Structure 1
């Protein structure tokens, strides 16, 4: 895999050295991010779900600067253990990349309270737990926090309401942290990737089917055709995307090394376009842009969309 030199950020950059912790590094964007940061010179601790995920990641490492730890960001004991491990192994922390996350798709009517709490627990509460546990180390090094959201942190898309709610919350969390921590020298940035082809899209489609299976039959039938069309369209968009996991990883690198890190970075034209559209369009026009997604609500399964 080619790892070319990233474009130099305006205002210069700081050398990529010290320890960085990347959560959600088992696969996809987190995996690519961990490997890229190691390649650039960081000591990387990759947070993974299982030992076997970590061993696979180690096999792809070429610089002996990458280690892994099994971290469950929703478990307080696991989070505390990761902070103790970082302090013991590295003595400090240059950056924390909060990338771990899940996506629970489906109409909000089909997502029960337990599922919704799970979405927020992983994508929001767990990351705040990681930040709180590692802040003493980050303050000591005037380090950086990079919170990974998505284009859906700017606009709530139908059938991704729970995920959008979590991304909006993470954006707000990042804004508050950036302002609260600025006097201490800890910088906070958001990286928002657009559609990128990774294994997550298969998981999203499967989770959408489960949401329908768990809903009352009459409710599931109401949304089935529209949701299936939406999930298929999402997968096609990811396959057609020109943004790569490498693009995402290089964007995270910039957030960690820009001399003057931005509040927000976008990885992919679609993520930037979504943010601009949400900012400029009135709600009525934004609603209209999403109307095609919901046009089949109430239609029998297999019916073609008629926006």
Structure 2
């Protein structure tokens, strides 16, 4: 169980993508744990509801608008943290977007958009806030995915971006550690949700346009919808608890899976030198025995 900081030594954390899901749950959990929490979101329509939910729990959130693809806005937010809070103790990169579809079915814009939000957004936030974290000897936590380790069918754009995130942060970790900043990657598996709705998927439209890929896409959508509704799927609050524990732990690992299922899934990649274990597994997802 996480240890709640006392009021006098409350630390400041900024979280991106807090309008829904993991980001929202993490903002509420950290505020309840005594952190001065800056909850940012691209669309501020959810701001009042988030503040009200925090208030019910006796906590307070500083909810602010921030688009992680807007470098000028990111710079202003770093200045805000410096001037308002005197710095920052932790950054949680959570903002991201799904991109489901094959390379033939998606536009190049879809690939670039996925990379812009999921990868370049993380780089831009890290670059802007790392000077503050150096001063506080703080921690940089990024919500990745098991899809940042294991490539998944019809997720070429999303997994490519998450692979890039993991490569960036794995490379950064020893450099940041040399200046006393902790870098950590959280890897959830499926998070309980209406997968098709939350990923913005028009399943019927995708299948109608899939052509030769229709049987594979149909099998993938059926399998993945079951996975997101299964007993293995975690709640956003479960992931939030892992983030809180990572911030409070004395020496957390660099890469942290959020469940036994996620650990076992990621372990498929370990020692898979020729890629046969992973590809044999994922071929089954698209109906290939």
The equivalent of 1:44 in structure 2 is 37
Deviates more, 1:137-146 or 1:190-199: 190-199
* More displaced stretch, 228-237 vs 152-161: 228-237
Q: List alignment gaps of at least 5 residues for structure 1.
A: 296-305
Alpha-carbon distance in structure 2 between the residues aligned to 1:161 and 1:288: 17
Whole-angstrom CA distance in 1 between matches of 2:126 and 2:244: 19
Aligned to 1:254: 245
Contact residue 20 and residue 43 of structure 1 kept, 8 A = yes
Aligned 1:112-261 pairs, distance under 5 A: 112-198=107-193, 201-204=196-199, 206=201, 220-242=210-232, 243-261=234-252
Match of 2:266 in 1: 275
Q: Is the 1:104–1:208 contact (alpha carbons within 8 Å) kept by the matching residues of 2?
A: no
- The within-5 A match list for 1:73-112 is 73-112=68-107
CA shift at 1:241, angstroms? 3.3
Report the count of equivalent residues: 283
- TM-score (ref. length: structure 1): 0.85
TM-score (norm 2): 0.90
More displaced 10-residue stretch of structure 1: 178-187 or 141-150: 178-187
Take 1:228 and 1:208, find their aligned partners in 2: how far apart are those partners?
A: 9
Structure 2: state its 5+ residue gaps. none
Whole-Å separation in 1 of the counterparts to 2:19 and 2:227: 23
> Residues 83, 200 of structure 1: CA spacing in aligned structure 2 closer, same or farther, 3 A cutoff?
farther
Distance 2:202 2:146 in 1: 20
3-state SS in 1 of match to 2:187: strand
Deviation at 1:205, TM superposition (A): 5.4
* C-alpha distance in structure 2 between counterparts of 1:75 and 1:199, whole Å: 29
